Chains A and B, each alone.
Chain A
Amino acid sequence: MSDEEDDIVLSELSNEELVQQMHDDLYDGLKDEILEGVNILLERGWAPYKVLTEALVEGMRIVGIDFRDGILFVPEVLLAANAMKAGMGILKPLLAETGAPKQGKMVIGTVKGDIHDIGKNLVSMMMEGAGFEVVDLGINNPAENYLEALEKEDADILGMSALLTTTMPYMKVVIDELKAKGVRDNYVVLVGGAPLNEEFGKAIGADAYCRDAAVAVETAKEYMSQRMHNQ
């Protein structure tokens, strides 16, 4: 099917059909179609936040479920994430202007010695999609990067990612450093990455281990509402 035909089809769909189609396009990692869909919904007067949550975040939630269940594998997830990222590129400046709800601020990064970043990027994006402000420190981060950024950004949440058995223990180094500086309890510490588990999260003194991006968002929201409550 040519792009031109795609254009006609997408813009002729009702809102409901278009959102459904965008979920399918996200699932198939079709970046151009996602960009087009986002623009059509905006032209139809949808608030950027509504486009983000109903078309993109919901679509990516479905991708996440099928990845967890072994139906999709890494390439599909990465293509879907890339398509969502493109859509968010349009929405982000608009969200800032239109004052979407704000949940809190997270500093996230892959730990020292590790340059796997697909999962971390996905978590960043889904956190942003849920209204968190995210400062992404990238890969291979020594403890001082996290500590500096947490302070400078006045963040609420620290997120650390590790995909290697050899790098996961470094998360404890970072947490111990936070403790040594007397600031551990200023932050909610979330950790993730395929080789981790809940027991490990507890053992190193994190607040929670999150199996995937959806759990990360839910957990972060819970902690933020507890924090509001306690303040």
Chain B
Amino acid sequence: MPPAMLADTALAESAVTVSIPHSTTPTILLIACGALAREILAVIECNGLTGMALECLPATLHNRPEHIPEAVREKIRAARGRGIETVHVVYADCGTGGRLDRVCEEEGVTRIAGPHCYAFFDGLDDFAARADEEIGAFFLTDFLARQFETLIWKGMGMDRHPDLRDLYFAHYDRVVYLAQTDDPALDAKARAAADRLGLRYERRKTGYGALADFVQRAASSGC
């Protein structure tokens, strides 16, 4: 699928192969969560990186993390079957409790460090340092701000059962939007999400955080 047509709903629900401009004969494969597709492409494009292919698993796997490790393994093996040896996994641990790391180790591939994408966008050390203070924070990224309605509001059943909001969010006090880009429309969406959850709103520009370094290093790993 060409980048311009990357629909969020497709990224949320299906496995998507993203074609990257100027990467006609890729030797490096990135296997990523659909929630990171646009951000990875942005890093590739703005750094003029070449030689990479990007395959995404559905972002909804996020809610079924027990299926992530084997889904990633399958993609790695399929790539090896096509002769692509250099593979990088752009998934945080994502609640697999170390099982994804074990797959990466067994298959001999690297993974971006961190427990979840919120932490690597924010910067792992900064995120950890703020953990106590932000214990009541619910985080949004660009992807989640765009997909809040589908993945959170509807996905968690709050459209059908508004009472669920209080059961989920009773202990939360704020939404922190970790913004990858400066986009007033997304800022407005994130603020509306906070309002809907009845939580105070904060925006923090993170840019691509540790994702940018990881993708750039991946680009030079193919030789």
Contacts and interface: CB of A to CB of B under 8 A. Distances in A.
B55 interface: no
Interface string B149-172: 000000011101101100110011
A74 B63 CA distance: 9
A73 to B, nearest CB: 7
A225 interface: no
Nearest to B95: A195
B164 to A, nearest CB: 6
Given A75-B156, A166-B115, A194 B95 contact: yes
B97 A196 contact: yes
Nearest to B170: A117
B136 A115 contact: yes
A165 B63 contact: no
B97 A168 contact: yes
Nearest to A162: B97
A164 B115 contact: yes
A136 B171 CA distance: 15
B65 A194 contact: yes
Interface footprint category on A:
20 to 34
| Residue among B64, B93, B99, B167 with the highest chain A CB neighbour number at 10 A | B167
Interface of A: 29, 70, 73-76, 78-79, 82, 113, 115, 117-118, 139-140, 163-166, 168, 194-197, 200
20 contacts: A73-B63, A74-B156, A75-B156, A75-B161, A75-B164, A76-B157, A115-B171, A117-B171, A118-B168, A165-B93, A165-B95, A165-B116, A166-B115, A166-B128, A168-B97, A194-B97, A195-B65, A197-B99, A200-B97, A200-B98
